[in-house]
Structure 1
Amino acid sequence: MSALHAAGAALWRETPAGVELAVAHRPRYDDWSLPKGKCDPGETLTETAVREIAEETGYHAVLGRMLPAAHYEVSTKDGNTRPKRVTYYSAEAIGGDFVPNEEVDELRWLSADKARALLSYEHDRVVLDAFTALPARVRTVLLVRHAKAGKREKWAGPDELRPLTPSGTHQARCLGRMLPAFAPQRLYAAPRVRCAQTVEPLAEQLGLPITEEWLLAEEGFWPDPDAGVRRFLAIAADGAAVVSSQGGVIPELVERLAVKAGLPLTEFPSRKGSTWILTFDADPAGPTLLAADYCETPLPPVRD
């Protein structure tokens, strides 16, 4: 039996006294937990996280890096058990207000230490500890491998004009629903039709233009990879962005960023339609990679 999927967040806000985290009391279970909930049919994980935060806490949120997922068994109506996976993100509260509701009757904003002491479950404390291991205020760049575009040898025209296949178009639509949760302000694409088409649904959703980036295309990157890394870091320095590139660039780019930052990454996958959530510090002298989270697919979780 496949796992039930849910999503939630370490929801935080910045105050004069420091960073506070939201801890929710659920009367149904009489527990204190981080905001989370099950995926609706056809919903991407990021859509679930943002919706559940709003429903449980009343706050609108912008997602950031991924935090450790929780895995546990839940009881089913027939008396058996089923695995459940909860995907967690860091999430900044950017507006809203709490109103007691059927799911959550009390919400407390607490320092990390006080939140940890109040939480009922160890897996929530693991998520909270991972959140506090890095700064709350960071910059996020979403590095996307173009969606499926068929085999190069079966395309008769110039390779830069090779378009997405129908399954690639579906992946692009899902990315257009998945990535707005991170509130990107700028969109970039290698000058390839398939790279631009991958972020076109997102551009339409956000009302943003797509800027071509030659240094992040294979032919532009490999003559001088250091120049490509510098350009990517310049993009990161300006805040949240999406970059659509190619499989011949992404693994090398992520590896170079990780080595430069001293991050112990050993694998650099890049499936078509996948996304690297790259988290950088907010140092005005120049961004340094703090975390790199790989999302293999933009498609909604499969439901039985």
Structure 2
Amino acid sequence: MEPRDVRAAGAVVTRKGGEVLLVHRPKYDDWSFPKGKLDPGEHVVAAAVREVAEETGLDVRLGPALAPQRYRLSGGRWKHVDYWVARVVGSDDVSRYRPNDEIDRVEWVEWKAAMRRLTYPHDRETLLEAEPLRRKTRALVVLRHGKARARGGWKKDDRQRPLVQLGEAQAQRLVPLLAAFDVTAAHTSSSLRCVQTVTPYVDTTGWPVKTYDDLTEEDASAEGILDLVDALMDSGSSSVLCTHRPVLPTVLDALRVPDVKLEPGAMLVVHHRKGRVVATEVLHP
């Protein structure tokens, strides 16, 4: 049986002025993007943010996803690297970075110069792909609530049907994913299973949460959903909108994006800029 791919994640970090962040590895004497292997059980999105912080000292938030890289390592195994475009949160000063055996140089490099400096062809291809996506975007995360108790076995008001243990675990695992996309507000169906899905994130971060009857299965309102989606797209910040499977098509129609099937706890990340959808991606916790 062929061995599994080595899984890694990283980011093409950009800033105003047309510069991209590169790192130099003394062991290989190469220039590349900040990236690294996933820790056991770690989500690839969380790994991308963590690795950039560890290798550059900078805190980033992710934008649109880029095509993954897959290449053969010297020992015969394959390496699979997931990448996102990213922007720094806070200071982007790397002058105080302390060199070490893994990364001895971290530099902001002008775009065309970065194309020449990058060591590997697959990194130059990734940089080309990132160029039209480097302008800052916001995210609207459309989230289906986590796994809930079976409808057939619940005799009370369905709005009070709670998450099961798996759903609670999914809600906990969503915390670093929502943080990775700079979500600063939660908007959710008032049904308990949706509120429980976003509670770990708002409890961890302190960001506000607002509940809506218009997002429930019983009282979903196409007009109310359209008004909410328009407001979130124009808000200038990133948000999460948590609702139910039967309501999702109305939300996606309001966003004017193709319908997708989301499993419990899964999310569609809609990257947008100035009210226009730039890219989408589906993620599972």
Q: Same fold (TM over 0.5)?
A: yes
Cα–Cα, structure 1 residues 135 and 35, in superposed 2: closer, same or farther, change >3 Å? closer
Aligned length: 278
Counterpart of 2:280 in structure 1: which amino acid? A
SS at match of 1:56: helix
- The residue correspondences of 1:32-71 to structure 2 (distance < 5 A) are 32-71=31-70
For 1:142 and 1:122, how far apart are their aligned partners in 2? Answer: 33
SS at match of 2:246: coil
Counterpart of 1:244 in structure 2: which amino acid? C
Counterpart of 1:240 in structure 2: which amino acid? S
For 2:215 and 2:276, how far apart are their aligned partners in 1? Answer: 19
Aligned to 2:27: 28
Aligned to 2:248: 250
Structure 1 length-normalised TM: 0.84
Counterpart of 1:228 in structure 2: which amino acid? I
Note the alpha carbon deviations across 1:87-135, whole angstroms, 9 max, x for none: 1112112225333222222222123222222222233223222322235
Aligned to 1:276: 268
Counterpart of 1:11 in structure 2: which amino acid? V
Aligned to 1:83: 78
SS at match of 2:88: strand
Cα–Cα, structure 1 residues 258 and 135, in superposed 2: closer, same or farther, change >3 Å? farther
CA RMSD of aligned residues (A): 2.0
Counterpart of 2:279 in structure 1: which amino acid? A
Q: Is the 8 A contact 1:215 1:231 kept in 2?
A: no
Instruction: State whether structure 2 residue 231 is matched by structure 1 residue 234.
Output: yes
For 1:249 and 1:118, how far apart are their aligned partners in 2? Answer: 48
Structure 2 length-normalised TM: 0.89
For 1:75 and 1:162, how far apart are their aligned partners in 2? Answer: 52
Instruction: State whether structure 2 residue 285 is matched by structure 1 residue 288.
Output: no
Deviates more, 1:170-179 or 1:109-118: 109-118
- The residue correspondences of 1:211-226 to structure 2 (distance < 5 A) are 211-221=210-220, 223-224=221-222, 226=223
For 2:261 and 2:73, how far apart are their aligned partners in 1? Answer: 32
SS at match of 2:28: coil
Counterpart of 1:233 in structure 2: which amino acid? D
Quote how far apart the aligned CAs of 1:256 are.
4.7
Q: Is the 8 A contact 1:6 1:37 kept in 2?
A: yes
Q: Is the 8 A contact 1:19 1:136 kept in 2?
A: no
SS at match of 1:125: helix
Q: Is the 8 A contact 1:11 1:90 kept in 2?
A: yes
Cα–Cα, structure 1 residues 256 and 231, in superposed 2: closer, same or farther, change >3 Å? closer
Cα–Cα, structure 1 residues 27 and 93, in superposed 2: closer, same or farther, change >3 Å? same
Counterpart of 1:275 in structure 2: which amino acid? M
Counterpart of 1:257 in structure 2: which amino acid? L
Quote how far apart the aligned CAs of 1:57 are.
1.1
For 1:245 and 1:75, how far apart are their aligned partners in 2? Answer: 46
Deviates more, 1:161-170 or 1:229-238: 229-238
For 1:229 and 1:115, how far apart are their aligned partners in 2? Answer: 42
Identity level (%): 33
Quote how far apart the aligned CAs of 1:74 are.
2.8
Cα–Cα, structure 1 residues 125 and 155, in superposed 2: closer, same or farther, change >3 Å? farther
Cα–Cα, structure 1 residues 212 and 115, in superposed 2: closer, same or farther, change >3 Å? same
Unaligned runs of 5+ in 1: 260-264, 299-304
Aligned to 1:110: 109
Aligned to 1:6: 8
